Amino acid sequence: MEDVTARLGGQADSLSGSGSQDPMDRLIVALDFPSVDLAMGLVERLEGSCRWFKVGMELYYAAGNRVIGELRERGFEVFLDLKLHDIPNTVAGAVRSVTGVGASLLTVHADGGEQMMRAAAEAASVPGAPKLLAVTVLTSMDEGELHGVGVVDDPAKQVLRLARLAKQAGIDGLVCSAEEVKAVRAAMGPRAKLVVPGIRPAGMASVDDQRRVASAAEAIARGASMLVVGRPITQAAEPAQVAAGILSEIACCYR
């Protein structure tokens, strides 16, 4: 693992695109469950150790805005990860549909192109709209997977291409892996919100179906604003304990 303290020093906030040093503002737990009951069961088992939760397609398609409402009623922040990808008018309409339901962050897919992202950004320019993040290359994809869908570049080059496109379109930040986040931070500047999935606790060997992973400390050191953690927490026997360990990793970056 990198020497995070030495790397960051007093520049942690400028690297991460966030003014907060509270680790709970950095960790997002992915509620990848098929029902509200299962999701809320995990929330309760976390015993207040987490402030942010990701609602992805599996849970949102099962429960809709109800799950966002329940999380907001309990005082939590919501990252709505729908990876919107359609013609510009349809994506803009989807952004307007979720405006005001309580999500603080919402994803669109950068592969939809500049006009689609620009339409989404315009739709999200009203009060109550979530901040938009563009998904670049999924952390489950490697160079071989990209070549299979006709992208000749490696993931790092493709991520940077999409990052620049998203910036031109007025998107607030990106979702990218820890492997690319340093280069993306340099390209997008200190204010961009960069959310990094594929996070594994220090010393954890299993990567599940992720290809490009890192520890929490490594991702923060490279310039991540927020980290998304799913199965290492949600499938743990003691999820609150695992979450506390990741929060401690993050906290060490600011000492």
Lowest model confidence (mean pLDDT) among 25-39, 177-191, 233-247: 177-191
Q: What pLDDT sits at residue 144?
A: 84
Q: What pLDDT sits at residue 140?
A: 80
Lowest model confidence (mean pLDDT) among 83-97, 105-119, 188-202, 231-245: 188-202
Lowest model confidence (mean pLDDT) among 4-13, 64-73, 136-145: 4-13
Query: What's the gap between Cα 102 and its chain centre?
Result: 17
Alpha-carbon torsion (101, 107, 112, 117), positive or negative = positive
**Mean pLDDT along residues 157-185:** 92
Question: What is the percent of the chain with per-residue pLDDT over 70, rounded to a whole number?
Answer: 87
Homologous superfamily (CATH) of 4-252 is Aldolase class I (3.20.20.70)
Task: Indicate which residue of 54, 83, 167, 193 is catalytic.
Answer: 83
d(CA 172, CA 169): 9
β-sheet bridge partners, residue 131: 105
Query: What's the gap between Cα 189 and its chain centre?
Result: 17
d(CA 134, CA 35): 26
Residue written as tokens 């999935």?
197
Residue written as tokens 């680790």?
23
In terms of pLDDT, which residue wins out, 91 or 143? 91
> Is the CB of residue 107 less than 8 Å from the CB of residue 78?
no
Q: How is residue 223 written in tokens?
A: 């310039």
Domain ranges of the chain: 4-252
Question: DSSP 3-state assignment of 101?
Answer: coil
| Contact partners, residue 45, CB within 8 Å, separation at least 6 | 239, 240
| pTM of the shown model | 0.87
**Residue 111, pLDDT above cutoff 80:** yes
In 25-148, which ranges are E strands? 27-30, 52-56, 77-84, 105-109, 131-135
Q: What pLDDT sits at residue 173?
A: 94
β-sheet bridge partners, residue 173: 133, 193
193 has catalytic annotation:
no
**Mean pLDDT along residues 93-100:** 96
Alpha-carbon torsion (59, 63, 67, 69), positive or negative = positive
